[in-house]
Each structure stands twice: as structure tokens, then as C-alpha cells.
């Protein structure tokens, strides 16, 4: 191969470049990145970057010297808008055409917007520019409303509360992280947020926004009640960035549909948030929007691009920091799974195991990172023996 | 060979401990990395390189 193109200049894209060099690929690498910034770490954006006013250098992935050493050409900011599989050609929005021998797609996801018009003061959070805008706007917004009770929404709520703002979280679900974990965990988390002074409005669908002179003044619930707020964050999920591939003939569903080796077509691989692949361990299709997966999946995808035949079968891992709680989890948490608590839930430190079909399939640590890691071994053993209830899973 | 960690960048994923348990450990509650051996023997090089590779925060470096 003379040219490998990596579309996406974030965590998975950078990991792909690093893996290419580690695996001994010495020819040309082109990276197409939509953002103008060098690669950076997204998880701190909803937490320390805002709460502690961190400088960009702190969240940067790799110093300039590391990037220079990798010897890739970074075309940023630039967007790919068309893929011609037959001619192995990529077209950019600027109308440049680039030929490749191998392609890694790591275009990530975009946040879902709230349906209907949004006044000024309504934000989503995905990139550095979003986080910087939010950081500035929070300085003049005493009341903050967060729509969505997933990981991002709850982390941002904790951050806004930490800097002393009045925060209300509004969501359809009965408890936070309802898609991720069993109710007992979500309820404990809700209690911790309330203790910290966050107001939670659960089971509360949002109808729209109230505005004054074009700026948001509140969030209107379906029952007509208005939650006053000068700033609202919409954190209701995201969608894979695949629209530019629709004419390419690549299999597209909830993400780019890859085989067990992260391959979407001959010479074309996907990694990170955008990749949906067949997890041969669980016997299910997975797409994971978590940081660790971006690094791991890019590594395997690149090895396979260079000729290996390795299935990608990680134990899913995620973490979330909210107030003084450090949550981490390994594995899967099927809706029908049963929880077993190791330790005392009230003590502020425990591990919760999820049992499914007679095996431990998921483990969650609540301020217990080290103990949790020790229970990881059991999950690898169980992987082969279980059937998931859902044939397709998204971890976000 | 000298291992350098940046605790301020560490996110507590514990991947380094899985890769090189003789070199790295984690604090119990938040999982932040603890360096057990700053100058490990040459035998550990492959494990340390694996830890560097899987660290999501790129918080580990190797000199020499």
C-alpha cells in the first residue's frame, strides 16, 4: 500500500495513525480532520475543561513532537463528502480528489439537536469549540437547564453545579443513566445529584423553549410548566457521521456496518463511535461511543488493514465522573440482568455485578476502580457462553 | 529505561495495570495510576510498550 487515508482526526483517527506506524507501515498517511485543532481528548470537555478552566494543552492528545514523529499529513480543517469505492477515491468538500489504497473511517458522531427551533443560549456539546462557547456562556447564566439524563447530561450538570450555578436536569427516563445501568444505580446517582443541589425532573418530556428577545428564558415541559433558565444544554444522544457515505455503497445502518474484523469493504475499515461491528464474543452487533473503544478499535482495524485476521472482541469499558463519584464499568448490563452488590451501597464505595444466564456479564465500580478491575477476568470467561437479549447494542 | 507518567492526564481506566501489572498500579477509589517501578528491567519493555499503546489519555512515556 502506498497511501492510507484516515478520515477523522480525533482519538480514533490518531490511534489509527499511531498503530499504522507501530505495525511498521512506512508509506504515506493522510488524515482528514473536520476540526482545525490538533487531536484532543473529549471526555474532559464536560468536566475539568469547564469546571477547572483547563488550558487546551492539558487535553491535547500527544505533543507536537509526537505528531511530527508519526509523519502523517494532516489536512485540517477539511471534510470528506464522497467515497468512490471502485476507483478508491475520496472527494473533499473543497473538491480535491484523493486516491487511497487503504481507508480508515473514524468520523465519530454528532449530537442530536432538539426538534424545532432553538433560541440563542441553547447548546449541544461535542467538540472543543462547543465547550469553549459553553464555558464563556456559563459565566453569565445563573440558571442552567440540562435536557437528557445520559452520561453527558449528568456530567455537565455536576460541572455546572460545581461552579455554583442553579442546575435542573430534565429527562424522559425514570432515573439517570437508564439506558446504561439498572435502576438501583441510577437512583443512587440521582440521590447524589440531589444532595449536591441539582434539581432532577424525571419522567418529564420537554415540549420546547421559552425565549425573550431571541434568547432562551426557560424550558417548557409537555404539561406546560416552564423551568426558568438562561442556558440550556441539549444532551439527548448523537448520530453517527455517515451521511457522506450514503452514495458509496458501504453498508450503513446505525453507523458503518463492519464485520467482526472492523472491515466495511475490501481495504476499508471503521473505528470508534461511528463503527458498528459484529462482536464475535457476544454474538451481537455493537457500537460503542466511549473513549477507550476509540483507541482499541483503531488498533485492531489497522492491524487487519495491514493483513492480520483478528476479530475485535473487547470487553466494553466506560467511565464517568459526577460530583465525587467515579463510576467505571466493564462488560454489558442486559435489561433482564440481576444485580448483586459487593460491599455496602451506602458506604460510597462498592462493586455491582450483573448476572445474566447464570454468568457475571457486567461489573460496575462506584469509587472502586481497583477492585473493579480485578473482577474483569470473570467477564472475559462469560462472553462466549451468553446470549444478549438485544441483537444490536449501542453503548453511549 | 525510564517510565514517566502524567497523573494529571490519567483518567483511571486501569488499562496500564492490565498490560503491565508489575510496573503500574491504581489508587483504590479513583483509579489514578501509581508507578511501581520507575526504572524497570529490560524484560518489561514489551509490557510497558503495550501499556503506552492502550492508555486512552496518552499519559505514559518511555525514555531510553
% of chain A exceeding 70 in pLDDT? 100
Q: The complex's ipTM? A: 0.86
Please tell me the predicted confidence (pLDDT) of residue B56.
Answer: 85
pLDDT band at A380 (very low <50, low <70, confident <90, very high): confident
Q: Which residues of A touch B27 (CB under 8 A)?
A: 369-370
Q: Which of A295, A296, A328 sits opposite B31 (nearest CB)?
A: A328
Q: Residue A36 burial by CB count (10 A; 0-12/13-18/19+): exposed, middle or buried?
A: exposed
Can you give the pLDDT at residue A95?
Answer: 86
Q: What average pLDDT does the segment A87-105 reach? A: 96
Q: Do B13 and A376 touch (CB under 8 A)?
A: no
Please name which of A344, A381, A341 lies closest in space to residue A181, comparing C-alpha atoms: A341
Q: What is the pLDDT of residue A377?
A: 79
Query: Closest approach of chain A CAs to the CA of B23, in angstroms?
Result: 15
Task: Tell which A residues from 255 to 314 touch B, by Cβ distance under 8 Å.
Answer: 291-292, 294-296, 299
Cβ–Cβ gap B9/A371 under 8 Å? no
- Across the interface, do A58 and B9 touch by the CB < 8 Å criterion? yes
Instruction: For residue B31, list chain A residues with Cβ-Cβ distance below 8 A.
Output: 319, 326, 328, 369-370, 373
Q: Among partner residues B25, B31, B57, which is closest to A41 by beta-carbon distance?
A: B57
- Let me know if A11 is exposed, middle or buried by CB neighbors in 10 A (0-12, 13-18, 19+): buried
Put simply, whether A328 touches B (Cβ < 8 Å) is yes
Residues of A in contact with B13 (CB under 8 A): 292, 317, 319, 328
Facing residue for B28 by CB, picked from A11, A19, A370: A370
Q: Which of A95-109, A244-258, B24-38 has the lowest mean pLDDT?
A: B24-38
**Contacts A299 to B, Cβ<8 Å:** 53-54
Distance CA(A339)–CA(A1), nearest Å, equals 49
Residues 206-265 of A with CB under 8 A from B: none
Closest residue of B to A12, CA-based?
A: B56
Q: Which pLDDT tens digit goes with each residue over A17-34?
A: 999 999 999 999 999 999
Partners of residue A373 in chain B, C-beta under 8 Å = 14, 17-18, 26, 31
Q: Please report the pLDDT score of residue A140 as a whole number.
A: 94
- Across the A:B interface, residue pairs with CB atoms under 8 Å apart total 65
Instruction: Sort out which chain A residues have CB atoms less than 8 A from B56's CB and list them.
Output: 11, 41, 291-292, 294-295
What pTM was estimated for this model as a whole?
0.95
Hunting for cell 477507550 — which residue is that? A292
Q: Which residues of B touch A371 (CB under 8 A)?
A: 28
> Residue A87 and residue A9: Cα distance in Å, rounded?
24
Interval A337-355 mean pLDDT = 91
Facing A292 at nearest CB: one of B30, B56, B58:
B56
Binary contact (A326, B29; C-beta < 8 A): yes
B17 → chain A, closest CA residue: A373
Mean pLDDT for chain B overall: 92
Identify each DSSP E strand in A72-149 by its residue range. 73-75, 80-84, 89-92, 97-99, 102-105, 109-111, 122-123, 143-147
Reply yes or no on whether the pLDDT at A392 is more than 80.
no
**Helix, strand or coil, per DSSP, at residue A312:** coil
At A347 the pLDDT is: 87
Which of A10-19, A53-62, A368-377 is predicted least confidently?
A368-377
Flag whether pLDDT at A375 surpasses 90: no
| Cross-strand pairs, A350 | A343, A366
Answer yes or no: do B18 and A43 touch at CB < 8 A: no
CB contact under 8 A, B18 and A319: no
| Residue B12 backbone class (left: φ over 0; alpha: ψ -120 to 50; beta: rest) | left
In this model, does residue A390 exceed pLDDT 80?
no
Query: What are the pLDDT digits (tens) for A150-209?
Result: 999 999 999 999 999 999 999 999 999 999 999 999 999 999 999 999 999 999 999 999
Averaged pLDDT of chain A: 95
> Residue A246, class by beta-carbon neighbours within 10 Å (0-12 exposed, 13-18 middle, 19+ buried)?
exposed
- Give the C-alpha separation, A132 to B10, whole Å: 22
Amino acid at each position: 500500500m502506498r497511501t492510507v487515508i484516515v478520515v477523522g482526526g480525533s482519538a480514533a483517527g490518531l490511534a489509527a495513525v499511531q498503530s499504522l506506524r507501530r505495525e511498521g507501515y512506512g508509506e504515506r498517511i493522510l488524515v482528514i480532520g473536520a476540526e482545525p485543532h490538533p487531536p484532543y481528548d473529549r471526555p474532559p470537555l464536560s468536566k475539568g475543561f469547564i469546571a477547572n478552566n483547563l488550558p487546551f494543552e492539558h487535553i491535547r492528545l500527544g505533543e507536537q513532537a509526537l505528531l511530527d514523529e508519526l509523519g502523517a499529513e494532516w489536512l485540517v480543517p477539511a471534510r470528506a463528502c464522497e467515497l468512490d469505492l471502485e476507483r478508491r477515491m475520496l472527494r473533499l468538500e473543497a473538491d480535491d480528489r484523493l486516491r487511497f489504497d487503504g481507508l480508515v473511517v473514524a468520523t465519530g458522531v454528532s449530537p442530536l439537536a432538539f426538534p424545532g427551533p432553538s433560541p440563542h443560549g441553547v447548546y449541544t456539546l461535542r467538540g472543543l469549540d462547543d465547550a469553549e462557547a459553553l464555558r464563556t456562556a456559563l459565566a453569565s447564566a445563573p440558571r442552567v437547564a440540562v435536557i437528557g439524563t445520559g452520561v453527558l447530561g449528568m456530567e455537565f450538570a455536576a460541572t455546572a453545579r460545581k461552579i455554583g450555578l442553579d442546575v435542573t436536569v430534565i429527562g424522559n427516563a425514570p432515573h439517570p443513566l437508564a439506558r446504561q445501568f439498572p435502576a438501583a444505580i441510577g437512583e443512587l446517582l440521582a440521590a447524589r445529584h440531589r444532595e449536591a443541589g441539582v434539581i432532577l425532573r424525571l419522567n418529564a418530556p420537554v415540549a420546547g423553549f421559552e425565549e425573550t428577545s431571541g434568547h432562551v428564558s426557560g424550558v417548557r415541559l409537555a404539561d406546560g410548566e416552564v423551568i426558568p433558565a438562561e442556558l440550556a444544554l441539549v444532551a439527548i444522544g448523537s448520530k453517527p457521521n455517515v451521511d457522506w457515505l450514503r452514495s458509496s455503497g458501504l453498508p450503513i445502518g446505525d453507523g458503518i456496518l463492519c464485520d467482526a474484523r472492523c472491515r466495511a469493504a475490501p481495504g476499508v475499515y471503521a473505528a470508534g463511535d461511528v463503527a458498528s461491528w459484529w462482536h464475535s464474543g457476544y454474538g451481537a452487533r455493537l457500537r460503542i461511543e466511549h473513549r477507550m473503544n476509540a483507541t482499541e478499535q483503531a488498533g485492531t482495524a489497522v492491524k487487519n488493514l495491514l493483513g492480520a485476521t483478528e476479530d475485535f472482541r473487547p470487553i466494553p469499558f466506560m467511565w464517568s465522573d459526577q460530583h465525587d463519584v467515579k463510576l467505571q464499568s466493564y462488560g454489558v448490563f442486559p435489561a433482564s440482568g440481576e444485580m448483586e452488590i459487593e460491599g455496602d451501597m451506602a458506604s460510597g464505595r462498592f462493586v455491582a455485578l450483573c448476572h445474566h444466564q447464570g454468568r457475571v456479564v457486567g461489573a460496575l465500580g462506584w469509587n472502586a476502580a481497583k477492585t473493579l478491575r480485578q473482577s474483569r477476568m470473570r467477564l472475559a470467561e462469560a462472553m462466549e457462553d451468553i446470549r444478549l437479549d438485544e441483537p444490536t447494542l449501542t453503548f453511549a | 529505561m525510564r517510565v514517566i507518567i502524567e497523573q494529571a492526564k490519567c483518567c483511571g481506566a486501569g488499562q496500564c495495570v492490565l498490560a503491565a501489572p508489575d510496573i503500574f498500579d491504581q489508587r483504590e477509589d479513583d483509579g489514578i495510576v501509581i508507578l511501581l517501578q520507575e526504572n524497570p528491567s529490560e524484560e518489561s519493555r514489551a509490557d510497558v510498550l503495550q501499556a503506552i499503546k492502550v492508555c486512552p489519555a496518552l499519559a505514559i512515556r518511555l525514555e531510553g
